[in-house]
Structure 1
Amino acid sequence: MVIGMKQFTRMVFVFFLIIASIQAGDKTTEAIWIDVRTVAEYQQGHKADAINIPHTSIEQSIANVTTDKSANIRLYCAVGIRAGIAKATLERMGYTNVFNEGGLSDVQ
């Protein structure tokens, strides 16, 4: 198969866009959304595709969700404080692609 310079340039451009988005932790990649608020708070309302693991249980429960240390993990709580605590815990455990997305109002 022979392609022209224009098609080749497009292919290279798309390739570099994909690499850049992966390196930047692009939010459009398959993310695991975790609501780290209490069960009662979660039941009152949450992001549609989020699972609930309270920040006090994250260390014991994360392996039930993923053991992939490079998984794209997005955390949120009410305002971001507990998500920050959970993020620090996961990073201490070796997870490398963890993001504190702030509060529920930030992610809806």
Structure 2
Amino acid sequence: MLKKTLLAALFAVPALSAWAETYLIDVRTPAEYAEAHADGAINIPVEDVAAKISEVTADKDADIYVYCRSGRRAGVAQETLTGLGYKKVTNLGTLANAQAFVAKQQAEKATP
């Protein structure tokens, strides 16, 4: 199920699907994610990150960006992932920050 969600999310946003080994993970609850989320984000609640990250990527060198409501849960997820050996984990903080990050990436991809 998570792999299908990942594929759907990546193909829904062309700019994000062009990213090589880059993942945007929303670590909020499924209810929060359903209300609003950054384009291309995969929902893995913070308490499930350790168990489910391998369903998304086993590449320890992948760029992983995490966010939540305030940045606290994203910080916990970042620590968890780095503890598992993931080397490039960035805490974007809030949903608004993640949306701005996605917009910036899309604008950079659109600029010739």
TM-score by length of 1: 0.72
Once the two structures are superposed, residues 51-108 of structure 1 have per-residue CA deviations (whole angstroms, 9 ceiling, x without a partner) of 0000000000000000000100000000100000000000000000000000001121
Cα RMSD for the two superposed structures: 1.3
Give 1 or 2 for the bigger CA radius of gyration: 1
Matched, 1:77 2:68: yes
Q: Kindly report which structure 2 residues correspond to 1:1-80, keeping only aligned pairs within 5 A, or say none.
A: 30=20, 31-80=22-71
Which sections of structure 2, spanning at least 5 residues, go unmatched?
1-17, 100-112
C-alpha distance in structure 2 between counterparts of 1:39 and 1:70, whole Å: 27
- In the other structure, the counterpart of 2:12 is none
The total of aligned residue pairs comes to 81
C-alpha distance in structure 2 between counterparts of 1:59 and 1:48, whole Å: 23
Which sections of structure 1, spanning at least 5 residues, go unmatched?
1-27
| Identity among equivalent pairs (%) | 46
C-alpha distance in structure 2 between counterparts of 1:107 and 1:90, whole Å: 18
Q: Which protein is richer in helix relative to its size?
A: 2
C-alpha distance in structure 1 between counterparts of 2:55 and 2:19, whole Å: 21
TM-score by length of 2: 0.70
- In the other structure, the counterpart of 1:91 is 82
List, as ranges, runs of 4+ consecutive aligned residues in structure 1 with deviation greater than 4 Å.
Answer: none
